[in-house]
Structure 1
Amino acid sequence: MKEDNVLSLTADAATAADAGLPMTGLTQPEVTSESILALILRSLDDNKAEEVVQIDLRGKTSVCDHMVICSGRSSRQVSALSQKLVEDLKHELGVPSKIEGQETGDWVLIDTGDVVVHVFRPEVREFYQLEKMWMPMGKVTQNPA
């Protein structure tokens, strides 16, 4: 069934190119930092990440537009959450990600360019307290579970 879809798209593209027409319906919608953020939040929620916090960094740094911080209950869950997130980003949006720290599973950093995700074991998250570093005083926004 998938091969038929690929062949249909290829045939449609060839027909449009031969006729000098734009290949409408064949291009991916523009991927924005907001669409990346939405997919990240959905993936983390679907895979039972805990204490998910999103931080809007637009206009505050050139590093990224958004930061997401969350926890997994164990090193194994931290690694699994991270791997699943990277797969979701690649398959659903075509967004490549750089990933660091997955082998140990204490603190995994996923960099999509526009959104940076930190997945921690709870003890490591408490030690580093990234929320306090990046959030304005007294303002930590958690996503509802």
Structure 2
Amino acid sequence: MQLEQLKDLVVEVLNEMKARDISVMDVRGKTSVTDYMIVASGTSDRHVKAIAETVAYKSKEAGEAPLGSEGVQEGEWALVDLNGVVVHLMLPKVRDFYSLERLWSAPALVTRSTAAAGASA
């Protein structure tokens, strides 16, 4: 399965499972961990668990077995690693706290401290 097809499959499953506020981020060039991060919210811990389990199941059924998953039992924040696509499923309060979309959309900032600047002069 191609990367774009996998991303589309995940978004389709999220929509079918009535996940909220689905956000797809292209993080190529920002990290070597994955190409896409998909963030979505569930309405309860049971909803988050069900979405995570369904994403994993449907991906495996399509020939892309997850490399792993985390947090599914707790249900506040579940992660499903599909290699080229990493899916974060969270309760709204957890999502607001971590603000992954803002974190990954921020431009890279390279600074030099004053001490380092003075030392190299």
What TM-score does the superposition give when structure 2 sets the normalisation length?
0.84
SS at match of 2:32: coil
| Alpha-carbon displacement from aligned partner over 1:82-119 (angstroms, at most 9, x marks no partner) | 00110000012x11111100010000011011000000
| Moved beyond 6 Å, runs of 4+ | none
CA drift at 1:136 = 3.8
SS at match of 1:58: coil
Question: How far apart, in 1, do the equivalents of 2:102 and 2:48 lie?
Answer: 21
Question: How far apart, in 1, do the equivalents of 2:74 and 2:53 lie?
Answer: 13
Aligned residue number for residue 4 of structure 2: 34
Aligned residue number for residue 118 of structure 1: 88
CA drift at 1:59 = 2.1
Aligned residue number for residue 95 of structure 1: 64
Aligned residue number for residue 80 of structure 1: 50
| Alpha-carbon displacement from aligned partner over 1:60-80 (angstroms, at most 9, x marks no partner) | 221111000000000000000
Identity of aligned residues (%): 38
SS at match of 2:56: helix
CA drift at 1:48 = 0.2
Aligned residue number for residue 102 of structure 2: 132
Question: How far apart, in 1, do the equivalents of 2:91 and 2:47 lie?
Answer: 9
1:76 aligned partner, one-letter code: R
Q: Is residue 46 of structure 1 aligned with residue 16 of structure 2?
A: yes
SS at match of 1:118: strand
| Unaligned stretches of 5+ residues in structure 1 | 1-30, 138-145
Q: Is residue 61 of structure 1 aligned with residue 31 of structure 2?
A: yes
Q: How many residues align?
A: 106
Question: How far apart, in 2, do the equivalents of 1:57 and 1:36 lie?
Answer: 15
What TM-score does the superposition give when structure 1 sets the normalisation length?
0.71
SS at match of 2:31: coil
